[in-house]
Amino acid sequence: MFGLMQTHPLDIPSIVRHAERMHPGKTVATRTSGGVVTATFASVIARARKLAAALRALGVREGDRVATFSWNHQQHLEAYIAVPCMGAVLHTLNIRLFEGDLAYIVEHAQDSVVIVDRSLWPQWEKVAASVRCVRHTIIIDDGGEAPLPGTHDYEALLAAQSETPFLPEVAENQAAAMCYTSGTTGHPKGVVYSHRSTYLHTAMLGTVDALGLCERDTVLAIVPMFHANAWGLPYGCLMWGCDLVLPGRFMASDSLAELIVERGVTFASGVPTIWLGLLEPLARATPPPRLTRIACAGSAVPPALQRTYLERLGLPVVHAWGMTETSPLVTFAKPLARHEGVDAASLAATLEKQGRVAPGVEIRIVGDDGREAPWDGTALGEIQVRGNWIASGYYKDEASAARFQDGWLRTGDVASIDPDGYVKIADRTKDLIKSGGEWISSVVLEGLLMGHMAVAEAAVVAIPHPRWSERPLACVVKRKGADPSKEELLEFLRPKVAKWWLPDDIVFIAEVPKTSVGKFDKKVLRERFKDHSV
């Protein structure tokens, strides 16, 4: 009888053991108010063991949710390691969400402990007043201010603990982390990542036709660690041995460009807005940056941006696509062998697409008739995916039945796929607005506007924006006899939503166009206001 290979769980503890054994001297560099602070992988993992011990002392047990409300920095990485390696669940909170949504998310997830940056305390304090499940709050002092009564100091907690071992292994399908998406109408939806899905997504990031992470790389993670796990880069750097650079709360373009040059960054990732802002600082940097490629996702990459980076800096932009429900990255626009010798214009047109699906995930497009559409580069359909790091449903949410069917995730994005497998997104099935890589719900804004006594109807559509890709425009029908001003309606919205959700403009129209079944016909409004400027 043939012997079978040994099997061990594909879990985060095994990623951490590999990093500690194979890459102990690799570094994590964090921008702080006092300069760049550097630590080795070995020391970061040692501190993470102390954090796990401290969390146990606070009563955290396997399966408990530990939330973070933090920027990208070393302590956040320590939580990425400690929480899943002790069998608990890391819950990264998006600091850009409105406090009402954040309070709902924390209560829905039943977070027992939250780790908060001192610089973000004013935001968290508003959320904390509305939640009851959080038993302990741990403060990371990233601003040099006085301790807060009723909270635990992060460094003091670690100093009081000795290193204790992580769990030797965790069941593959046990929850490792969770993240909520606001990319649908209604309440945010929770997505849970297993140890297995995280391990496989992490391994995929090192393949040449994905991001190609390797031991020779120095990676700048601009994508927030609170949003879709920073596209998997924290664990990717641990597994593949990349030096990791974290910007902290210093996200200005000049600061990021300085980090790229000073730390010798070879790979960086960010939404299009980030790269629009970085173009000029990088172009005038001395010495020139050592970047070999950059990744861009979160919203469609403007073709002009790709061309400009290649022409001025010689930098290829890897266009990628994914969503919170897909862990997140699924497709990558990389050239094939057959593209050698292809004229530059044809190659550019191919690489402007969202790319080819990674091994481990299946993709299809489905038309309105429910049939799979052909991969001919012309036929359109909704993107549906399934695979090893695709969620199977939302956490405790009835919306799962509509979005997850027969093992396939219905993404809501409409696309074509060409014969080579390159996906090109054409539109979205839901009327969401993606501004700077973050979703804004038009339906939520409409509901709020129609709560004003002077508003009869309101439809919100996306209009193009040179920096943010898309911004909301509110089209309002006044109630008979009422005469609200634009400023009045914006003030009405201001305390109800995050600042960046506020419409760039409000226009008053006689009526909202309707479809044959009485729904708002937003495509008519988008066409009407496609050239609108504020």
Q: Show which residues are catalytic.
A: 181, 325, 434, 439
Handedness of CA 41, 43, 49, 50 (dihedral sign): negative
Our CA angle for 397, 403, 409, nearest 5°, is: 120
Describe the strand order of the beta sheet including 136-140 as a list of residue ranges.
152-153, 136-140, 111-117, 65-69, 89-92, 175-181, 189-194
DSSP string across 411-474: EEEEEEE-TT--EEEEEESS-EEEETTEEEEHHHHHHHHTTSTTEEEEEEEEEEETTTEEEEEE
Q: Rounded CA gap, 42 and 21, in Å?
A: 9
Q: Rounded CA gap, 233 and 401, in Å?
A: 31
Please, which residues have CB within 8 angstroms of residue 491's CB and are 6 or more apart in sequence? none
Our CA angle for 268, 273, 279, nearest 5°, is: 65
Q: Rounded CA gap, 197 and 325, in Å?
A: 11
Q: Rounded CA gap, 457 and 476, in Å?
A: 6
Alpha carbon 512 to its chain's center = 33
Buried b / exposed e over 391-411, threshold 16 CB at 10 Å, is bebbbebeebeebbeeebbbb
